[in-house]
Structure 1
Amino acid sequence: MPAADADRYARYDERMAESRGDEPELELELGHVLMEIVRTTWQDEGRALRAVHAKSHALLEAEVEVPALPPELAQGVFATPACYRAVLRISTTPGDLLPDRVSTPRGIALRLFDVPGERLDGAHHLRSQDFLLVNAPRFNAPDGHAFLRSLRLLAKTTDRVPRTKQLVSAIARGAERTLETLGGESSALKAMGGQPPVHPLGETYFTQVPHRFGAHIARLQLVPVTPAMQALAGDAIDLADDDALRAALGDYFARHGAEWELRAQLCTSLEEMPVEDASAEWDTRRSPYRTIATVRVAPQTAWSEARSAVIDDGMGFSPWLGVQAHRPLGQIMRLRRRTYERSQAFREDRMGPFVTGCPFAAMHGSTGSRDLDGGGPSVVPPNRPEAT
């Protein structure tokens, strides 16, 4: 890479990983709040759910193809051309299992299997890389204090008055529609249930917070690229059914495949594209998102009880489950690290050991288990009841 091009991009520095100020106290309080959500849903559901993104709508086998890339993008797991087996989980944000009429932001968890590279602390038992993305370009809190305030409110409303939540969601969606007709939007309204009820496959997803990107720093984006998916942009879904999103995704994947481009936006200025302020949106004119991989999903069963038993109950996703070259950056991600670990430890204690390999391997002739959707022994992990 010419020196002029190399100088264009901000360089990762080990000091970016260091804790700052009162983060230990914030981390402790954040953990208490998130565990309050997990314990509440355990008591109510008899399942150890995630503190956030508890409800899945699609659980998909995928592949991620990495092409030959220019030097500044050929970093970490994208350093050389490769094709990775992957799992893709589409979900919504609350930690309790709500009817879809409570319309909240959507997320995609993407796990690549058998990736090379030095592991992050706490991820040595895996050879995978997780990326967590949501359908908004920036985080709704700039720092840990603001994040903690919003989580306290979320914890207080976990599993309370679902009918009231549906009413609040309907009001918030109306307010969000009005705001968007005026050219604006509100992450706060969306978090309260004002997420427009559009098809998840027509939306673009973002990591929101930066990651180390080898020698550089980047935010990632997942963009639908097939005509069929792009036609779903803004396509409204009737939320009358409790599981309307799951039904819509199931209908789509029964007939179609999907393809996204995974793109990276490299940081060019630490002053104008800050790492620590999670709510700052990086200017795409300074640094556009550039394609680093293609994510493909073939037509398949998008969701089943058996898949849910393995992936929802038997896997934990975290941006801290990966390689050093893609270390999550910024205060928000440093604070969330131990809380992810505590939540996952709670879930494993009650539901049994997590799956560490690709749960879809059985569908391609691997020994020890078979199809996730029936027709033979289940790949439900030990100590976890088989789905019916």
Structure 2
Amino acid sequence: MSDRLAITRLRYYPEVEKIEPDEPQTARDIAETMLSIAEKTYADSGHATRCVHAKSHGLLAARLEVLPDLSPELAQGIFANPQTYEAVVRLSTTPGDLLHDSISTPRGMALKVLDVQGARLPCAEGSISQDFVMVNGKTFNSASGKAFLRSLKMLALTTDHLERSKELISKVFKGVEAVIEAVGGESVMLKSLGGNPQTHILGDSFFTQLPLRHGDYIAKLAIVPASENLRALSGTRLDTGADPDIIRHEVQRFFAAETAVWHLQVQLCTDLNDMPVEGVDAWDEDKSPFITIAHIVAEPQPAWNEDRVQTVDDGMKFSPWNGVVAHRPLGSIMRLRKLAYEKSAAFRSQRNATAVTEPAHCPFA
């Protein structure tokens, strides 16, 4: 640990972000495209779901335990003091429509930490929670805001169409991705289009992919399996052929009797040339490794049921812009998604019986 802490960490200053003049229009285009996905699924089902990550696989009561004796660079923001927070965890997959699990897309973990202290981000003043939104890959799937918009438009065109074709394409992409990974590679694009390995979600690791403030510093975060029962599931493959909700059912089966523990880790920026704030690639872990600063614990519970769907899927939003200034999202992709998160939550809140609100405490702890 002492060698790791000898690395010089770069302090945050506003000029680390480079804002392009056309960002407001790109943000509006992204929000409009994402809403078109929600409008399509709402027209078909009569129920408003998220524009992306619509399908949940686990809705968990948890607690976040901040470790004691962290170095000053690590003890920042809500991690400044050793304490325990109530939390909510939502496990999901990325599409905006509710697909058969055989269409294997990237998975998400959204963490809502409750009753946090600190100056709030704009538009988050009415909340007392901190959200961290993560995906099971270290690299964001689009190289720029414009590329992200193009991929969203393609996703919008295929939303709720030709599910059987999606299954067949997913099968092909999973095969190609397996070949690439066998020789030590990875294709973020193939995974996003249905080639994600059909692993057990509780064995996956999750990453913010994009940077955020860590108090006085700049960081990316990760959540990785810590307990033996989670690590044993890492790389475990699921047979998704018969059961369209096999991921959810496996999560329910696990939490019927077992406790899960994850490490929450931070990777601090040491050099803007190698670890640019406006970039989307993974940062070099040899130059700055992920270091554990907290544990997330979820004890046995009903991991998914209709009451929790109404409470979390309908009644909560998860946005990196819901939080404190000390963990402000950084970089163009983060900035461009802010409006879309706001519009998506408002769309669901206006159309469903359960309005989107911010909880003070875990409603099913």
The C-alpha deviation readout for 1:63-82, integer Å capped at 9, x for no partner, is 00002211001100001111
TM-superposed CA distance for 1:161, in Å, is 0.7
Residue pair 2:113, 2:129 contacting (<8 A) in 1 also: yes
Judging changes above 3 Å, is the alpha-carbon distance between structure 1 residues 325 and 360 closer, same or farther for their aligned structure 2 residues? closer
Judging changes above 3 Å, is the alpha-carbon distance between structure 1 residues 361 and 34 closer, same or farther for their aligned structure 2 residues? closer
CA distance, structure 2, for counterparts of residue 27 and residue 147 of structure 1 = 11
Correspondence for 2:15: 15
The C-alpha deviation readout for 1:61-114, integer Å capped at 9, x for no partner, is 000000221100110000111100000000000000111011110000000000
State TM-score, norm by structure 2.
0.95
Superposed, 1:191-202 pairs within 5 Å as 191-202=192-203
TM-superposed CA distance for 1:354, in Å, is 1.7
Q: 2:268 pairs with 259, 266, 269, which one?
A: 266
Residue pair 1:19, 1:334 contacting (<8 A) in 2 also: no
| CA root-mean-square deviation | 1.4
The count of corresponding residues between Structure 1 and Structure 2 is 358
CA distance, structure 1, for counterparts of residue 95 and residue 293 of structure 2 = 30
Correspondence for 1:81: 82
TM-superposed CA distance for 1:330, in Å, is 0.3
Residue pair 1:6, 1:72 contacting (<8 A) in 2 also: no
Correspondence for 1:179: 180
CA distance, structure 2, for counterparts of residue 63 and residue 18 of structure 1 = 36
Residue pair 1:253, 1:300 contacting (<8 A) in 2 also: yes
Counterpart residue type for residue 75 of structure 1: Q
Is 1:348 the counterpart of 2:349? The answer is: yes
Correspondence for 1:63: 63
Superposed, 1:246-257 pairs within 5 Å as 246-257=248-259
TM-superposed CA distance for 1:201, in Å, is 1.0
TM-superposed CA distance for 1:359, in Å, is 6.2
Percent sequence identity over aligned pairs? 48
CA distance, structure 1, for counterparts of residue 251 and residue 217 of structure 2 = 36
State TM-score, norm by structure 1.
0.90
TM-superposed CA distance for 1:14, in Å, is 2.4
RCO higher in 1 or 2 (8 Å CA, sep ≥ 6)? 2
Residue pair 1:86, 1:358 contacting (<8 A) in 2 also: no
CA distance, structure 2, for counterparts of residue 15 and residue 184 of structure 1 = 34
The C-alpha deviation readout for 1:128-164, integer Å capped at 9, x for no partner, is 0000011001101121011111111101000001111
TM-superposed CA distance for 1:292, in Å, is 1.0
Secondary structure at the residue paired with 1:291? strand
Residue pair 2:7, 2:288 contacting (<8 A) in 1 also: no
Counterpart residue type for residue 204 of structure 2: E
TM-superposed CA distance for 1:353, in Å, is 2.3
Secondary structure at the residue paired with 1:115? coil
Identify unmatched segments of 5+ residues in structure 2. Answer: none
Correspondence for 1:366: none
Residue pair 1:91, 1:106 contacting (<8 A) in 2 also: yes
Q: 1:244 pairs with 229, 243, 246, which one?
A: 246
Residue pair 1:310, 1:359 contacting (<8 A) in 2 also: no
Residue pair 2:227, 2:261 contacting (<8 A) in 1 also: yes
Correspondence for 1:53: 53
The C-alpha deviation readout for 1:327-348, integer Å capped at 9, x for no partner, is 0000000000011101111111
